[in-house]
C-alpha cells in the first residue's frame, strides 16, 4: 500500500469512529465557550480604558492592545488542554478494538502505519484548528470593532492564532504517542492529565523552575501565553517563548520516535 493510500485509510478510520466525533463536538463546544467568555471579559475591561490605552485589571494598569493579543492566545490555550482526549482516542482505537493486527495486514510496515496515523491525526486536528481560527477571528472582531478595528488585521492576531493551532496539533500528537507506547487510551489521557496538573498546581515549579520548563504543558504555556510586557496572571512563566517552543518540539519528536521503536518491537496483539 502506498503512503497516500495508507494516510487515506488512517483518516477514514478516524472519521468513522463515533468516539472521535463526540470528542470533536466537545472540543468545538469548549472552544466556543472560552471564546465567548473572552469577548465578555475583554469588553468589560475596556470600560476602564484611559487616554493612554491602558485599562485596569487586577487593580493595575495594563496595555489594552497587548492584553487583546494575550486574550486571543488564552482563548485557544484553555480549551486546548482538552485535546489530549482526541489523540488518546485516535491511537487507542487500534488497541481497544483489537484492530492493530488487521491494520498490519493492510499496511505490513509498522513504521509506515504509525507515520500515516500521525499525518492523518495532524490533518484532522488542523481541521478543528481551522474552526478555532474562525472563532478567534470572530472573537477578535467583536472585541475591537468599536475600539480599534484595524487591530483585527495586525500580525499579532495571526501569530497568536498560528501559535495556538501549533499547540493544538503538537499536544494531540504527543498524547497519541503516549497512547501508542502504553497501548491504553486511559493511560495516554492520565499521563497528559498529570502534566497539566503539575503545571497548574506548580508542584514542580516550587522545586525547580528549570525542571518545570521541561514539562510539555508548561513549555506550551511559556511558548503561547508569555509576553514580557504584560504582568503575569496565574502561575509564573519558567522559560522564554523560544525555549518553550523548542521544548515542546523535543517532546513531540522524542515521544513519537519512542512510539515508533516500540511499535516495531512489540507483537500485534
Q: Regarding predicted confidence, which is higher, 251 or 268?
A: 251
15-21 CB contacts, 8 Å cutoff, 24+ apart: 15/124, 17/89, 17/90, 17/93, 19/89, 19/93, 20/86, 20/89, 20/90, 20/124
Q: For position 230, what pLDDT does the model report? A: 63
Q: What is the pLDDT of residues 187-227, one digit of tens each?
A: 999 999 999 999 988 899 889 999 999 999 999 999 998 87
Alpha carbon separation from 84 to 24, 92, 162, 187 (Å, rounded): 12, 12, 19, 11
Residue range 224-243: average pLDDT? 78
Residues 6+ apart with CB under 8 A from 208: none
Please check the confidence at residue 25 and state whether its pLDDT lies above 50. yes
What proportion of the chain, given as a percentage, has pLDDT over 90?
Answer: 57
Q: How far apart are CA 228 and CA 210, in angstroms?
A: 18
Please check the confidence at residue 117 and state whether its pLDDT lies above 80. yes
222-226 CB contacts, 8 Å cutoff, 24+ apart: 222/247, 223/163, 223/167, 223/248, 224/73, 224/76, 224/77, 224/160, 224/163, 224/164, 224/167, 225/70, 225/73, 225/74, 225/77
Contact 14, 60 (CB under 8 A): no
Please check the confidence at residue 61 and state whether its pLDDT lies above 90. no
Q: What is the pLDDT of residues 68-102, one digit of tens each?
A: 998 999 999 999 999 999 999 998 887 766 554 44
Q: For position 101, what pLDDT does the model report? A: 44
Q: For position 1, what pLDDT does the model report? A: 62
Longest dimension (CA), the chain: 68
Please check the confidence at residue 2 and state whether its pLDDT lies above 90. no
Q: How far apart are CA 2 and CA 174, in angstroms?
A: 25
> Which of 33-47, 88-102, 213-227, 233-247 shows the lowest per-residue confidence on average (mean pLDDT)?
88-102
Q: What angle do CA 153, 159, 163 make, to 5 degrees?
A: 145
pTM over 0.85: yes
Residue environment code for 136-150, b if the CB has 16+ CB neighbours within 10 A, otherwise e: bbebbebbbeeeeee
Please check the confidence at residue 165 and state whether its pLDDT lies above 60. yes
Residues 6+ apart with CB under 8 A from 264: 110, 111
Which three cell numbers, joined as nine digits, stand for 69?
A: 493579543
Q: What is the pLDDT of residues 129-148, one digit of tens each?
A: 999 999 999 999 999 998 99
Amino acid at each position: 500500500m502506498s503512503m497516500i493510500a495508507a494516510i487515506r485509510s488512517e483518516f477514514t478510520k478516524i472519521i468513522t469512529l463515533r468516539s472521535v466525533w463526540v470528542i470533536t463536538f466537545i472540543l468545538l463546544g469548549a472552544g466556543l465557550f472560552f471564546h465567548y467568555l473572552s469577548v465578555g471579559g475583554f469588553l468589560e475591561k475596556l470600560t476602564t480604558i484611559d487616554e493612554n490605552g491602558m485599562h485596569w485589571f487586577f487593580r493595575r494598569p495594563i496595555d489594552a492592545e497587548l492584553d487583546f493579543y494575550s486574550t486571543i492566545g488564552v482563548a485557544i490555550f484553555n480549551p486546548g488542554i482538552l485535546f489530549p482526549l482526541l489523540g488518546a482516542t485516535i491511537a487507542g482505537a487500534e488497541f481497544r478494538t483489537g484492530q492493530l493486527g488487521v491494520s498490519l495486514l493492510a499496511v505490513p510496515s509498522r513504521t509506515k502505519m504509525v507515520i500515516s496515523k500521525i499525518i492523518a491525526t495532524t490533518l484532522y486536528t488542523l481541521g478543528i484548528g481551522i474552526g478555532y481560527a474562525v472563532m478567534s477571528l470572530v472573537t477578535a472582531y467583536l472585541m475591537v470593532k468599536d475600539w480599534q478595528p484595524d487591530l483585527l488585521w495586525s500580525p499579532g492576531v495571526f501569530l497568536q492564532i498560528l501559535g495556538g493551532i501549533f499547540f493544538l496539533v503538537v499536544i494531540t500528537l504527543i498524547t497519541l504517542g503516549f497512547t501508542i507506547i502504553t497501548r491504553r487510551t486511559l493511560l495516554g489521557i492520565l499521563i497528559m492529565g498529570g502534566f497539566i496538573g503539575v503545571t497548574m498546581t506548580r508542584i514542580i515549579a516550587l522545586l525547580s523552575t528549570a525542571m518545570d520548563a521541561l514539562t510539555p504543558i508548561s513549555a506550551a504555556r511559556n511558548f503561547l501565553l508569555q509576553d514580557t510586557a504584560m504582568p503575569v496572571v496565574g502561575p509564573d512563566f519558567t522559560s522564554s517563548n523560544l525555549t518553550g517552543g523548542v521544548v515542546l518540539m523535543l517532546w513531540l519528536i522524542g515521544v513519537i520516535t519512542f512510539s515508533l521503536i516500540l511499535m516495531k518491537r512489540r507483537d500485534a496483539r
